[in-house]
Amino acid sequence: MSYTVPHGMRSAKITPRVHMMNTGNTRQTMKFFVDTADVDEIRDLAATGMVDGVTTNPSLVAKSGRDFIDVLKEICDIVPGPVSAEVTATDHENMLAEGRKLAEVAPNVTIKVPLTWDGLKTCRVLTSAGTQVNVTLCFSANQALLAAKAGATFVSPFVGRLDDLGLEGMELISEIRTIYDNYAALDTQILVASIRSTNHLKQAALIGADVSTIPPAVLRKLAHHTLTDQGLAAFLADWQKSGQAIL
């Protein structure tokens, strides 16, 4: 069974993954990471119990106007799950040095490296030493396969940026899911990035992505529905007319 899901002016055919206990599928739920370096937003959303991790990047940290290491320490204190911190070097030697420094900030820091040959080489060294690595800026299934073979903990395909080019970002997620499921030794988690809408999240869940990193505004919209608001208003109006009180 498959669904054709409207997406802007285009549509993407999404085939949901069926969980079977005997297939080796160990995914229990989709993890929600929040994509921001705004500490107040992270603290507020973490209080809901819905935040499993955080992703940051140089642009988000620069937007905060604060020292990178200070922000990273504070986020790691708030969220016990993986917190992605991105290196800014582009060569292997300096990526590795930056990654090792960032990994010392807290045990839940995940080092984010770009999907380049130097990034993949750095990924292999860091993961071999027990450090979690998020390989970012993935735009093809071939790149995702390379990330998995380099031992990446997470690979981050950017669906929104592909959509901007008139392509189908969610088709990439489906391709990566199929490839990873073909090989038991590939245990890299698919971390859907560049999410622009609640529909992106729904499609990622239908495909069976492991993680979605979500801007705070989009995460908050997940609980909103016009019929929910209308139904609640009607219930409260009827209750008020009854003259009763629970407390």
Going along 45-158, which residue ranges are E strands? 53-55, 83-86, 109-114, 133-138, 154-157
Strands, E, within 63-127: which ranges?
83-86, 109-114
What backbone torsions phi and psi does residue 64 show, to the nearest 5 degrees?
A: -70, -25
Instruction: For residue 121, indicate whether it is catalytic.
Output: no
Residue 83 phi/psi, 5-degree rounding, is -125, 110
Strands 10-14 and 3-7 come out as antiparallel
| Contact of 161 with 3, CB cutoff 8 Å | no
Nearest to 116 by CA among 77, 72, 86: 86
For residue 13, what are the β-bridge partners? 4
Q: Catalytic residue among 63, 73, 112, 241, which?
A: 112
- State the Cα–Cα distance between residues 188 and 134, nearest whole angstrom: 9
What residues contact 173, with CB distance under 8 A and at least 6 apart?
A: 157, 159, 190, 192, 203, 204, 207, 209
Instruction: Quickly tell me which residue has 């504070």 as its tokens.
Output: 74
Q: Tell me how far apart the alpha carbons of residues 79 and 4 are, in angstroms, rounded to a whole number.
A: 36
Taking a C-beta distance cutoff of 8 angstroms, is the pair 133, 151 a contact?
Answer: yes
Active site residues: 112
